Structure 1
Amino acid sequence: MSLLPRPAFDPELHALLAGMPLVERMDEEILAQVRALPSPSADSLLAGRRVVRREVDVPAEDGAVVRLSVLSPADRDPAVPAPCVYWIHGGGMGDRFGQIDIPLEWLERFGAVVVTVEYRLAPEATGTSAVEDCHRGLAWVAAHGEELGVDPGRVVVAGISAGGGLAAGLCLLARDLGTPAIAAQLLICPMLDHRNVTASSRQYSGEPGVWTRETNEFAWRTLLGGQAGGEVPPYVSPALAVDLSGLPTAYVDTGSAEVFRDEDVAYASGIWAAGGQAELHVWAGGYHGFDAQFPQAELSVTARRTRTDWLGRVLRRTAADGAAGGGGPAAVSA
């Protein structure tokens, strides 16, 4: 059992969790069992929404294929370039439609084109494979922006959990390669640090939970493969990045009652220290992925509304900046 005092779950969220299965640790057998469970079909997730869906396969250099689903508002004006949200789902146990209700809110609210990427998962693919898949997909979006009706100055990278970590790594990789342009990064409870040494990682250890230190250790070990004992690239574990300058404006949110709390706070602080812009929210009593699991809870409603309001500000400012011929996506603040 954990001997460290720790923030309690929000009372409403705690009550909603009652009776739900929790885990203390994960292993290969449990992972296989979870992956064997059927996922909701894309058609069921999109039912009742005015969305046009297109499937795209982007070839990788090693012969693999990166699949993208392009979701566009059915009633959008093709003459008006739309903002784009490049969505990276939570990793390990999902597919590109994981947590898709989150970016679909932005499709409906802002008329955004949502592109969601099917990156390769560990343990079959390890190291930089996933972030390179994400970069390859985003490069395709940038190259086909006119065809998609996307404004190249308003492409936002967003992700949740492992997808949030991949979104951060993707922004680092795009900065270092010089392409493609990213207007903003929206990181939802991102998984950023393979070292697992923070106070929050120790607080949520030794007993069943939504995401524990032990589960986190397994996830990182699975992702890193043979790199676990060697040098890990910052594109995989973004907390290792020495230089956080020149990154797109960031939104980082997390819960006070989760493993990733401290690494997420540190990442936002590192962006500020490098002269960049980040908005940070630590939701009191929020556990890992609380607003994706229980979107109707009061804390979840507040978190999602605040996140959406931030994205709206970013999209308005990038639109104004583009109209004025301003300083480009990375110069945007929120």
Structure 2
Amino acid sequence: MEPATSQPTVQDRIDPESKVPLDQLLQAMPGGFNAISDIVQRRAALKAALATMEAPENENVTREDRAVPGPPGEPDISVRIYRPKGVEGVLPGVYFIHGGGMILGDVDGEDAVASMICEQVRAVVVSVEYRLAPENPHPAQVEDCYAGLTWTANNATELGIDPARLALFGGSAGGGLVIATALMARDRGGPALCFQMPIYPMIDDRNVTPSSQEITDVGIWDRAGNIEAWAWYLGDAQADTYAAPSRAEDLTGLPPTFIDVGTCDLFRDEDIAFANRLMQAGVPTELHVYPGAYHASEVFAPEAALSQRIVATRVAALRRALA
């Protein structure tokens, strides 16, 4: 009788090339970012870490920061508008929502990704700066995102955007807000959207899936950090459709969707389940599950072959959707 083999740990299943920077992070910061209890200090630590990985500013795109109207009765919001240099005429539009678990992140931190999409997809990209929790709990985030989307659609002519080719893109919390904003646009009668790309979206506050219990102590985004972020995000409120899109009962009428997630990502199971529900609702849906990828591994290990495949697949899908 052969001896029983032990189950591989999550760490064992991570793509070896992508794991190198993750190990370095944990050595420099035991416990990862979630070990920093003060949210202001945690934001500063993340910003500093991203700065060390910052690529040179993309000179093939122009940038313009503007203040635009926020939700009714709320402060203005900031957007950053990207346009590929030397490309004339009307272009498709990508409304970009940054990640950070609803508590971290900003437009600056995802400037490189927004610039890359602008250049490689040849699209006008509008990146929105929404309010963060815990200072501003739900629904501040999705209302800010919806206000920015509405401004973008209403000003499509000035921005050089083809209103028939307007898509949403965002990762993690940004992915959850992509879906929430699309639901809000559907329910409020616009703006019209041709496509959405929620990347490993944060969409379920219940933390009951196998992957939500399996991914612990990895240093990037694990169970304890997710539970904490949802508590801050919701405040004293109960999760609704726009906070946690997994709770949405009706997914019909959403735009064609592309979702990707890694097998070592806490959001794996909720994202796969949501993609299945989209298909069942008749929404054209493309789902990619990457063996060995952890949450945002392509951000922390951009040179890894797996990361390059992930990014190339997204860009190709955006090009097809916006052609």
Tell me the equivalent position of 1:216.
226
Checking the alignment, whether the CA contact within 8 Å between 2:121 and 2:318 is kept in structure 1 is: no
Tell me the equivalent position of 2:42.
34
Tell me the equivalent position of 1:225.
235
Counterpart of 1:219, as a letter, is A
- Determine which of 182, 188, 203 is the counterpart of 2:193: 182
Q: Counterparts in 2 of 1:236-275, with a 5 A limit?
A: 236-275=243-282
Counterpart of 2:243, as a letter, is V
Checking the alignment, whether the CA contact within 8 Å between 1:23 and 1:211 is kept in structure 2 is: no
Indicate whether 1:82 and 2:91 are aligned. Answer: yes
Q: How far apart in 2 are the matches of 1:197 and 1:23?
A: 23
SS in structure 2 of the partner of residue 156 of structure 1: strand
Aligned residues: 306
Q: Counterparts in 2 of 1:61-210, with a 5 A limit?
A: 61-77=72-88, 80-91=89-100, 92-205=103-216, 207-210=217-220
Tell me the equivalent position of 1:313.
320
SS in structure 2 of the partner of residue 104 of structure 1: helix
Shift of 1:117: 0.2
Indicate whether 1:296 and 2:296 are aligned. Answer: no
Shift of 1:73: 1.6
Shift of 1:101: 2.1
Tell me the equivalent position of 2:24.
19
| Runs (5+) with no aligned partner, structure 2 | 1-5
Counterpart of 1:11, as a letter, is P
Q: How far apart in 2 are the matches of 1:137 and 1:194?
A: 25
SS in structure 2 of the partner of residue 18 of structure 1: helix
| Runs (5+) with no aligned partner, structure 1 | 317-334
Q: How far apart in 1 are the matches of 2:34 and 2:55?
A: 28
Counterpart of 2:95, as a letter, is Y
Q: How far apart in 2 are the matches of 1:261 and 1:145?
A: 35
Checking the alignment, whether the CA contact within 8 Å between 1:90 and 1:98 is kept in structure 2 is: no
Tell me the equivalent position of 1:329.
none
Tell me the equivalent position of 1:52.
62
1:59–1:124 Cα change, 3 Å: same
Counterpart of 2:96, as a letter, is W
Counterpart of 1:17, as a letter, is L
Shift of 1:4: 8.2
Among all aligned residue pairs of Structure 1 and Structure 2, give the percentage whose two residues are the same amino acid: 39
Name the TM-score, length of structure 1 as normaliser.
Answer: 0.86
Counterpart of 1:178, as a letter, is G
SS in structure 1 of the partner of residue 282 of structure 2: coil
Checking the alignment, whether the CA contact within 8 Å between 1:5 and 1:203 is kept in structure 2 is: no
Q: How far apart in 1 are the matches of 2:78 and 2:268?
A: 31
Shift of 1:135: 0.4
Name the TM-score, length of structure 2 as normaliser.
Answer: 0.89
Counterpart of 2:92, as a letter, is P
1:305–1:313 Cα change, 3 Å: same
Shift of 1:62: 2.6
Counterpart of 1:276, as a letter, is V
Shift of 1:31: 2.0
Q: What does the per-residue CA deviation read over 1:37-57, in whole Å, with 9 as the maximum and x for residues that have no partner?
A: 45679xx86734132222221
